[in-house]
Structure 1
Amino acid sequence: MKKILILLLIATFSFSSCEKDDICDANTSTTPRLVIEFYNITNASVLKNVTNLKVIGEGMTEGIVFNESATGEAKYLTNGTTISIPLKTDANSTTYNFILNSGNSNPTLIDIDKITFNYTRNDIFVSRACGFKTLFTFDPNNKYVHTAVPESKLLKWMQYISVEKNNIDNENETHIKVFF
């Protein structure tokens, strides 16, 4: 009887140290990116494709990768109506240069607008495997600052910016609409 009890105790202690695998499921919601849709300024209900849009974060030398399968400069360009870009999880603002017609051989056709997004952050524990995710809320008094580059330039290619959702907690909805 003592041998069986000792055997059960040894088995219990050896199995109690086992843990399930700490793998974060790919379907688990993580820190959401900012979703921006582009619209036609003359017909506000019509989506409009951007042409060779490149988005570069302040202090960065390379743009956001929109085409992972492309090579060279093409991987940083998009021609769609919607983009998703990350916000900084360690600061309360993120600045990007939005370069329309990037790489055009005629420099007068390249337009650059600079936007600083201002927000507060809330870190939420997801799981031991996935860690934390950050949710963002736009600053109600100063959601963004929009300037042309260079700042002496009078016209911005983004003519109107509308914040559609103040809380950035998922990527399934449009947070910002840009009209141009």
Structure 2
Amino acid sequence: MKKILAFLLILGFASSSCEPDDICDPNTPTTPRMLIQFYDFNNPSVLKNVTSLKVIAEGKEEGVILSPSATGDDRYLTNDNNVLLPLNTDTDQVKYKFIINAENKNPLLVNEDNLEFNYTRENLYVSRACGFKTIFNLTATNPYILTDKVPADQMWIKYVIVAQNNITYENETIIKIFF
């Protein structure tokens, strides 16, 4: 009887120290990236595919991975009508080079425009397994700054619209770029 009681006591202590596995469900929304869609400048209601677009964050050598299923340098290129770009969780701004025709052998056809995004950050607790996520709000006064090294009439990005200031989920269009 003492052996059974001792066994139950040991089993009780052993099981009370166990904790459930802390695994973050992949479907749990985490820090969102910013969804940018590209539109035809001459027909503003029509989405338009970019040609060989590469996006590089300031201070980085490699581009943002725009095509995760591709291999090699093709991972950094897209010919789609939208991109998801990460924002910086440590500062209130991020600068990107948007390079269209990045793979073209003729350097005169490669065109680079620069976009700087300004925002505020808020950290939200998700769960013990997932930790915190950051949501972003583009500033109301200067949400973006569009610049280029060439004259304005040679920029490939013609116009930018902020569709929504709050960046909470990845499936909501935040920026519309017309070219």
State if a TM-score over 0.5 links the two structures. Answer: yes
Aligned partner of 2:157 in structure 1 is: 158
Q: Please, which moves more after superposition, 158-167 or 102-111? A: 102-111
Alpha-carbon shift at residue 74 of structure 1 (Å): 1.5
| Per-residue deviation, residues 102-126 of structure 1 (Å, max 9, x unmatched) | 0211111111110110000001111
Alpha-carbon shift at residue 70 of structure 1 (Å): 2.5
Alpha-carbon shift at residue 173 of structure 1 (Å): 1.1
State how far apart, in whole Å, the 2-side matches of 1:128 and 1:21 are: 10
Aligned partner of 2:176 in structure 1 is: 177
| Per-residue deviation, residues 16-52 of structure 1 (Å, max 9, x unmatched) | 1101111111111010000000000111100000000
| Per-residue deviation, residues 65-98 of structure 1 (Å, max 9, x unmatched) | 1223323321211000011010001110010000
Alpha-carbon shift at residue 127 of structure 1 (Å): 1.1
Q: Percent identity?
A: 54
Question: Structure 2, unaligned stretches of length 5 or more?
Answer: none
State how far apart, in whole Å, the 2-side matches of 1:67 and 1:173 are: 19
**2:96 is the alignment partner of 1:96:** yes
Alpha-carbon shift at residue 57 of structure 1 (Å): 0.3
TM-score normalised to structure 2 length: 0.93
Question: Structure 1, unaligned stretches of length 5 or more?
Answer: none
Q: Please, which moves more after superposition, 120-129 or 65-74? A: 65-74
